[in-house]
Amino acid sequence: MWLLDSTPVGCGCSRETARRPDLAGWAQYDYCASHSRYFWGLRLHLVCTLDGPPILFALTGAKADERETLRDMLDAAPDVAAAHRGQTIIADKNYYGREFEHDLADRHLQLLRPARKEEAKRAGAHLFKPLRQVIESINQTLKGQLDLERHRGKSPAGRRPASCAESSRSQQQSGTTTKPDNRLCGH
């Protein structure tokens, strides 16, 4: 069983920081409903086990579509999904849509998520509330290990190598890639 979520990574709080040309176009303003706040920065997307070790991750602009980001992570590491056929992924309401679920089914992955307002109750609903704390804890731990919110970085280029190197050391794996649309992916 895998957990899937994204969390905001703030890049700055001042107007001066938000206007820096090095981060303009990469960091973005967005609202995080689970934290009830607006932020300017990036979004860390994680696929991890129940125990916490990350399986896949991506660092994107704040407004990146979470479903497309998951597809990109799976495309960047086809061996991961192939080695875990039939894996169940528990995610939040943002991972929705018939086409999206069919794509995951084609990859032999099963999605469990809460129902959206207009949907009927879905299977596995009793699992979501207890796992919310686990997901948040994993997000915070990884952000802390990678120093994502204390980086004082002035450019995206300065963040990529440190994030990849730290992730590779902590997972004892290599194979990070930088996607052309400014998404940082790893596995």
Give domain limits for the chain.
2-186
Q: Which residue has the higher pLDDT, 96 or 145?
A: 96
Using CA atoms, how far apart are residues 86 and 138, in angstroms rounded to an integer? 23
The CA-CA-CA angle for residues 103, 115, 133, to 5°, reads: 95
Q: Is 45 helix (H, G, I), strand (E, B) or coil?
A: strand
Torsion of CA 133, 137, 143, 145, to 10 degrees: -170
Q: What pLDDT sits at residue 170?
A: 39
Superfamily of 2-186 according to CATH: Ribonuclease H-like superfamily/Ribonuclease H (3.30.420.10)
pTM above 0.75, yes or no: no
pLDDT at 27 over 50: yes
Q: What pLDDT sits at residue 146?
A: 66
% of the chain residues with pLDDT over 70 = 71
Q: What pLDDT sits at residue 167?
A: 41
Q: Which residue has the higher pLDDT, 182 or 81?
A: 81
The tokens of 15 are what? Answer: 């107007």
Q: What are phi and psi of 64, to 5 degrees?
A: -60, 140
Chain-centroid distance of CA 180 in Å reads 17
User: What are the DSSP E strand ranges found in the chain?
Assistant: 2-10, 28-32, 37-49, 54-61, 87-90, 109-112, 177-178, 184-186
pLDDT at 75 over 90: yes
Q: What pLDDT sits at residue 156?
A: 53
CB atoms within 10 A of CB 87: 17
Q: What pLDDT sits at residue 150?
A: 58
- Side chain identity at 72, as an amino acid letter? D
Average pLDDT over residues 71-84: 93
Q: What pLDDT sits at residue 136?
A: 77
Q: What pLDDT sits at residue 113?
A: 87
Tokens 């032999």, located at residue: 108
The tokens of 72 are what? Answer: 């990109």
Q: What is the average pLDDT value for the chain, to the nearest integer?
A: 75
pLDDT at 61 over 80: yes
Give residue 103's pLDDT band: very low, low, confident or very high (50, 70, 90): very high
pLDDT at 175 over 50: no
Q: What pLDDT sits at residue 163?
A: 37
CB 160 within 8 A of CB 178: yes
